[in-house]
Structure 1
Amino acid sequence: MDKSEIIGQSTIQHGPESNRVYLMHMWPSDFPEIIEKMDDLAKTNGYTKLFAKVPSRYGAAFRMSGYETEAIVPGFFNGTEDALFLVKYFDIKRRTPNAEEMDVFQNLLLSETNSEIPKLDKTHVLRLLTPEDTEEMTNVFAQVFDSYPFPIFDTEFLKKEMSEETRYFGVFQDGKLVGISSAECDDSLKNAEMTDFAVLPSQRGKKIAIHLLRTMEEHLINKGFKSFYTIARLKSPSMNKTFMNNDYRYTGTLVNNTQIAGQIESMNVWYKTV
């Protein structure tokens, strides 16, 4: 499992599974030294990609250090400043996405959207999840994902996330948890990453993911949130279509970026402002 650590006051995730350094939260006082520290960390460990999510005002220095923009989320920072998703490669082979996956995704982008969804039947109940649900949550995650970039198979990790800024939502059928999603919230900046979608194979085709997504949005809009985004697997057309049908906009692909389900995959960035 890749690990998260603090460098200066900034949060970085790195490790051999995703084979990258990921600057998750940059503290202003760590700029610009954090750029060189990330380079050193990657070179020391032989990582082939650097990935940074930063306010647009810092983009020039990263670009001068060899970074390029793979995606952007407008209004990410409290609705007033954009976030740049910046990358730097140390292996030219890692820069190229899977051609077949990109072709399927291109066709999806050209397809018609459909905002109408069927209601969940009476056997399904959707609600906010609590620490008491975490054991059942790990069972669902284990059935959906062979591996994941964060320790979602650990009940203590899920409880810790719940105690901080992550809200988990679940769909139950006849009392059994069958679908999960989460909103990783930044209450100060009023943005949230819509993520961790996991629906049991037996429940697919019922549009559970979009019910979860819309419920999360409603919950957060009522709390004053201004922007939502997701980093969706390129190889999952259905998940990308869920965001497309719910008025999210595609802004770029993070190529060979994240270790999930046993391999490093490319991820698409979508956003929505309210």
Structure 2
Amino acid sequence: MMRELKVFQEDRVVSATDFTMNVSLDFFNERLKIEDYRGNVESIHKQIVRLLEDHPFTKVIVKSRQEDWKHFLTLGYQFEAIFTGFFNGNDAYSMAMFTENARRTSEYWVYEDETLQQVKELSRSLDVPADPSYTIRKAEASDAAALADLYQAVFEIYPTPMNDPDYIHKLINHHSIFYVAVYEGKIVSAASADIHSTYNNAELTDCATLPEHRKKGLMKMLIAKLEHELKEQQIYCAYSIARALSFGMNAVFHQRYYEYKGRFTNNCNIYNKLEDMNLWVCDLSRRK
């Protein structure tokens, strides 16, 4: 069963005379995320330290502007990955600060490097497989309960409450696009695009397939549909954060010409533990 938590995340804007920043208190994953900011970097860091006094998270993540990442480096942060084109075409540098050695240390890093190298040896193609046994379609709000059942079946733990139909219903009605694969009337695979309309980027996420329907190319079909929708909306920065231990999901994005842009250490609770996550980014404007 997925763990239950009344409040997964709390978003707030924190401002003073010399800065403002968008903060996510991510209780489920025990991390503090700064998704956007303006102003004095020193003051922003001091506010982060104050927030950690009230919320003793073990990881801080800042999406730094290109001109500030070296400044964050001098304040004790370290570079993890680069979101190319994230801010309306400008890059975002993911900077991390840890408050515990256990959160900073990954026991799977070398194995994940080996997996990544195996993935990069795979040939690339935008060809999409076809299987008449499956129907690929855009999800509707009425699919929320079936999607929740899918995520409950696939993931013991997931970093967002995807086993909650109400949560999925809100996503579909607001800023997320879901595509599903249906087999004999049942949703057996799904993926979504979470759109950031201010900066015109999208995260391809919530990828799940029932075990008995894997290795049939379903995720490639779903990702291709999502990419088409994003291009229709003139959103060209597409990225995904995949489990570094998962050969299959990393392979999907490599084969569709996404580029590996770094790894997040002990980033989120997924499956049954905190896991490292790989970042894959694609500029869809270069797609024919």
SS in 1 for 2:189: strand
Is residue 211 of structure 2 the alignment partner of residue 218 of structure 1? no
Q: Give the whole-Å Cα distance in 2 for the aligned partners of 1:112 and 1:151.
A: 33
Q: Between 192-201 and 108-117, report the one with greater CA deviation.
A: 108-117
User: Which deviations, in whole Å up to 9, do the C-alpha atoms of 1:184-207 show, x marking residues without a partner?
Assistant: 112232210010001111100101
CA shift in 2, pair 1:118/1:246, >3 Å: closer
Is residue 41 of structure 2 the alignment partner of residue 35 of structure 1? no
What letter is aligned with 1:12? S
Contact 1:10–1:30 (Cα < 8 Å) also in 2? no
Matches within 5 A, 1:245-264: 245-264=255-274
What letter is aligned with 1:53? K
Shift of 1:118: 6.0
Give structure 2 stretches of 5+ with no counterpart: 15-20
CA shift in 2, pair 1:171/1:110, >3 Å: closer
Q: Between 197-206 and 28-37, report the one with greater CA deviation.
A: 28-37
Is residue 3 of structure 2 the alignment partner of residue 11 of structure 1? no
SS in 2 for 1:83: strand
Shift of 1:161: 1.4
CA shift in 2, pair 1:270/1:143, >3 Å: same
CA shift in 2, pair 1:148/1:115, >3 Å: same
Equivalent position of 1:202 in the other structure: 212
Matches within 5 A, 1:73-152: 73-79=83-89, 81-97=90-106, 98-115=108-125, 119-152=129-162
Contact 1:72–1:251 (Cα < 8 Å) also in 2? yes
Q: Give the whole-Å Cα distance in 1 for the aligned partners of 2:60 and 2:54.
A: 13
User: Which deviations, in whole Å up to 9, do the C-alpha atoms of 1:167-189 show, x marking residues without a partner?
Assistant: 11111112211111010112232
Equivalent position of 2:82 in the other structure: 72
Shift of 1:257: 1.1
Corresponding residue to 2:237 among 207, 210, 227: 227
SS in 2 for 1:28: strand
Shift of 1:75: 1.2
Q: Give the whole-Å Cα distance in 1 for the aligned partners of 2:150 and 2:104.
A: 33
Contact 1:181–1:196 (Cα < 8 Å) also in 2? yes
Q: Give the whole-Å Cα distance in 2 for the aligned partners of 1:167 and 1:99.
A: 32
Equivalent position of 2:17 in the other structure: none
What letter is aligned with 1:183? A
Q: Give the whole-Å Cα distance in 1 for the aligned partners of 2:44 and 2:12.
A: 11
User: Which deviations, in whole Å up to 9, do the C-alpha atoms of 1:229-266 show, x marking residues without a partner?
Assistant: 11110111110010000000001110111111121000
Contact 2:66–2:91 (Cα < 8 Å) also in 1? yes
The percent identity for this pair of structures is 26
Q: Give the whole-Å Cα distance in 2 for the aligned partners of 1:193 and 1:217.
A: 11
Equivalent position of 2:178 in the other structure: 168
Q: Between 210-219 and 56-65, report the one with greater CA deviation.
A: 56-65
Shift of 1:49: 1.4
CA shift in 2, pair 1:13/1:168, >3 Å: farther
Aligned-residue Cα RMSD (Å) equals 2.0
SS in 2 for 1:21: strand
Shift of 1:123: 2.4
